Amino acid sequence: MAKLYFYYASMNAGKSTNLLQADFNYRERGMATMLFTAAVDDRFRPGTITSRIGLEAPATPFDAQTDLAACVASQHAADPLACVLVDEAQFLTGIQVAQLARICDSMGIPVLAYGLRTDFQGRLFEGAARLLAIADSLVEIKSVCVCGRKATMNLRVDAEGNPIAEGKQTEIGGNDRYLALCRRHFTEALAS
């Protein structure tokens, strides 16, 4: 039986690198995969999953209106898929997460979704919340805080490195905008 996996972590934990390695493993064995990435993430080339260590692969961009199940069904009919991989899964809608579950349950294709669990205020993203609720397997990818503890929080900072506590949930950025911290250092940074 195919399963829905949710690999979650804070920023800079290697989620995209892990996804690209999993994709490589399938393809190396001659198995077809389909990759998705959030269209809103425009840090790199559109339609590309890019890791901080320089790995990349083409992917189908998705937004809130994308019917992932229809995309996968179409591709699967043309070239049977062994796996579907989704980067930036926090940006999925609840309906899209249900579509991913249907891909597993009805089409028999495993789905590996990678994303953030929480935003810069420590609140769940819609996609992450739904994945945490219905995924068959939850896997935390570890990242490290400046103190050496496990980083679980994403601190948003301004251009000068000052913590930001208010704002819209989604603001695309990398090391220039976010720091992965343990809960203690996250809380202390916001209190200062």
| Predicted confidence (pLDDT) per residue in 40-71, tens digit | 766 667 788 878 788 889 999 999 999 999 99
SS3 content of the chain, % helix, strand, coil (to 5): 30, 30, 40
The pTM score is: 0.90
C-beta neighbour count of 98 within 10 angstroms: 15
- Shortest CA distance to 102 belongs to which of 79, 128, 68, 125? 68
Which superfamily does CATH assign the domain made up of 4-142 to? P-loop containing nucleotide triphosphate hydrolases (3.40.50.300)
| Cα 156–chain centre separation | 18
3 contact partners, CB below 8 Å, separation of at least 6: 104, 110, 111, 136, 137
Mind listing the pLDDT tens digit for each residue in 9-51? 998 889 999 999 999 999 999 999 999 999 876 666 778 887 8
Confidence of residue 121 (pLDDT cuts 50, 70, 90): confident
What residues act catalytically? 88
**Domain segments of the chain as ranges:** 4-142
Mind listing the pLDDT tens digit for each residue in 73-101? 999 999 999 999 999 999 999 999 999 99
Average model confidence (pLDDT) across the chain: 90
